[in-house]
Amino acid sequence: MSGDIYQLIAIVLYMALMVFIGYYAYKKTSNLTDYMLGGRSLGPAVTALSAGAADMSGWLLMGLPGAIYLNGLVEAWIAIGLTAGAYLNYVLVAPRLRAYTQVSGDSITIPSFLESRLKDSSRILRIVSSIIILIFFTFYVSSGMVAGGKFFNSSFGLDYHVGLLIVAAVVVFYTLFGGFLAVSYTDVVQGVTMFLALILVPFFGLFLTGGFSETAVSIREVNPQLLNFVSGASFLGILSAVAWGLGYFGQPHIIVRFMAISSVKEIKSARRIGIGWMFLSLFGAVGTALVGIAYFHQTGGVLDDSETVFIVLGQIIFHPMIAGIMLAAILAAVMSTISSQLIVTSSALIEDLYKAVIKTDGTDKQYVFLGRMAVLIVSIVAIFLAWPNSETILSIVAFSWAGFGAAFGPIILLSLYWRKITAQGALWGMITGAVIVLIWGNVEFLKKGLYEIIPGFIVSWLVVYFVSLATYKPNAEIDKEFDAAKDMLKEEK
């Protein structure tokens, strides 16, 4: 049996497992809260692995190793910034958001929470935040589709577009039918698969390159500066990389996991699991790139696409069946993020636009059906955007990450910690952050100088703060909920 057949069997078995989990979750989904938030029933391990898998995407196994393979450890500042940002997200956002979303209208989406928290009767805040989610998530989902197409092309020589459609078909199937539970359960399998793959590839790769010292020697022979964290980087370049961590506070597909955990008490356990998983996975991604540099230098091989270094090393190191499981890790990374983003986008369309604004008296059955249709429609648009395969995975992810971080990050933090934030402040801050990212991220000399999340986040924060001060009026209901959320935190700690 040829190696490709073994690998294909592993991929097919993996995809079949994802479909089965989708069917299992479908049987447990009976209403819109189940479909969009899993009935607030997630345990700490599921929360942590689901958040991690949803966060990292194909960027972890393809984008980051590819960037380090080309430019060296200077690209690792992104990983450092992300680890710090994720930790602060668990500490600053997770407990308060879990408590506050329950106290304030039992909110199941970020737009519905902001509307309830700020008592915005106009519905404008909810509509605008939903539109921002739709715009940036459609781009984000398309980055996953690009990764899926590249995966099948480099692994099996399959046409990029055929691979894109295969990944889209499977992930849309289990997300469309199983909803949030399917996304979360599959994320656990995917998170474990990604973790093991990222540890095993560089570990066994070191045996091929002669161990740590020989690997380091080979890397220095290629370019001594590849092992330097600051070589060739400006202060603004390092600041831009570390600033990726700011994005965590505003990522709807990640912070929605905090809303779904069963209780505030479980968040500490989730944080330990999540940050441990993240640190080791990022360490493995960096190690994969460095081993790849040494291996291809020693063998005289040529890597056509740096973003496929993990794929190629896995195929070289392991038996085809094991390599197939390694390849499944990439699909896991890609599919976990796509599915998480699709479910949040679906909730924005149905819970925050259709149900809240257009038809408020529908049945749960109708809303769940429309949620599934929304998953399908957004997927089709994302496939269309991914079809040309004209940008790197990292560039698409960077733009979308910045959009959410700047638009929602300051508002989420201020809404949880400052009782005087107003709906007008949140609205104008959100619009300002999104617009700055949209403009800055599309002007070449601006985005080359400074990552767009920095100006977007700072200016958005200032707009929220000053507009809120100018429009603040005491509100007894807001004060009561603010205090109730603080009391819940004290009780459950």
**pLDDT tens-digit profile of 123-137?**
899 889 988 888 888
CA–CA gap between residue 475 and residue 278 (Å, rounded) = 41
pLDDT tens digits, 340-365: 777 777 777 777 777 666 666 667 67
* Structure confidence at residue 431 as a pLDDT band (50, 70, 90): very high
Q: Is the dihedral of CA 100, 106, 111, 115 positive or negative?
A: negative
Q: Is the dihedral of CA 149, 150, 151, 154 positive or negative?
A: positive
Q: How far is CA 288 from the centre of its chain?
A: 21
Q: How far is CA 253 from the centre of its chain?
A: 6
pTM of the model: 0.83
Contact 108/312 with Cβ under 8 angstroms? no
Residue 261 φ/ψ, nearest 5 degrees: -65, 150
By C-alpha distance, which of 488, 466, 352, 490 is closest to 418? 466
Picking from 23-27, 145-149, 197-201, 415-419, which range would have the lowest pLDDT averaged per residue?
Answer: 23-27
The 3-state DSSP class for residue 263 equals: coil
CA–CA gap between residue 399 and residue 67 (Å, rounded) = 16
CA–CA gap between residue 451 and residue 448 (Å, rounded) = 7
CA–CA gap between residue 383 and residue 385 (Å, rounded) = 5
Residue 247 has pLDDT above 60, yes or no: yes
What was the pLDDT predicted at 472?
95
CA–CA gap between residue 152 and residue 348 (Å, rounded) = 31
CA–CA gap between residue 411 and residue 405 (Å, rounded) = 10
Contact 404/136 with Cβ under 8 angstroms? yes
Q: Is the dihedral of CA 94, 353, 140, 427 positive or negative?
A: negative
Which residues have C-beta within 8 Å of that of residue 70, sequence separation ≥ 6?
Answer: 306
By C-alpha distance, which of 368, 373, 342 is closest to 28? 368
Question: Burial level of 387, CB count in 10 A (0-12/13-18/19+)?
Answer: middle
Q: Which one is predicted more confidently, 249 or 31?
A: 249
Count of Cβ atoms closer than 10 Å to residue 445 Cβ:
6
Q: Which one is predicted more confidently, 447 or 239?
A: 239
Q: Which one is predicted more confidently, 8 or 78?
A: 78
Contact 229/74 with Cβ under 8 angstroms? yes
* Mean pLDDT, all residues of the chain: 84
CA-CA distances (angstroms) from residue 96 to 99, 234, 322, 406?
5, 37, 42, 20
pLDDT tens digits, 160-192: 888 888 888 887 777 766 666 666 777 777 778
What was the pLDDT predicted at 205?
92
Residue 85 has pLDDT above 90, yes or no: yes
By C-alpha distance, which of 442, 465, 464, 461 is closest to 452? 442
Contact 209/294 with Cβ under 8 angstroms? yes
Structure tokens at 399: 């733009």
CA–CA gap between residue 201 and residue 204 (Å, rounded) = 6
Picking from 63-72, 79-88, 363-372, 470-479, which range would have the lowest pLDDT averaged per residue?
Answer: 363-372
5-19, 142-156, 269-283 — which one is most confidently predicted on average?
269-283
Picking from 33-37, 265-269, 424-428, which range would have the lowest pLDDT averaged per residue?
Answer: 33-37
What was the pLDDT predicted at 418?
95
Picking from 73-82, 89-98, 148-157, which range would have the lowest pLDDT averaged per residue?
Answer: 148-157
**How many residues does the structure list for the chain?**
493
CA–CA gap between residue 294 and residue 47 (Å, rounded) = 37
Which amino acid is present at 225? Q
What was the pLDDT predicted at 474?
92
How much is the CA Rg of the chain, to the nearest whole Å? 22
CA–CA gap between residue 29 and residue 216 (Å, rounded) = 52
pLDDT tens digits, 179-228: 666 667 777 777 787 888 889 999 999 999 999 999 999 999 999 999 98
Which residues have C-beta within 8 Å of that of residue 487, sequence separation ≥ 6?
Answer: none
Residue 30 has pLDDT above 70, yes or no: no
* Structure confidence at residue 316 as a pLDDT band (50, 70, 90): confident
Residue 385 φ/ψ, nearest 5 degrees: -70, -35
Q: Which one is predicted more confidently, 288 or 303?
A: 288
Contact 262/43 with Cβ under 8 angstroms? yes
Structure tokens at 403: 């959009």
What average pLDDT does the segment 253-273 reach? 84
Look up residue 314 and give its DSSP letter: H
What was the pLDDT predicted at 10?
81
CA-CA distances (angstroms) from residue 377 to 87, 360, 404?
34, 22, 21
User: Domain 3-390 carries which CATH code?
Assistant: 1.20.1730.10
Q: Which strand (E) or helix (H) includes residue 344? A: helix 320-349
Residue 410 has pLDDT above 90, yes or no: yes
What was the pLDDT predicted at 180?
65
Residue 42 φ/ψ, nearest 5 degrees: -75, 140
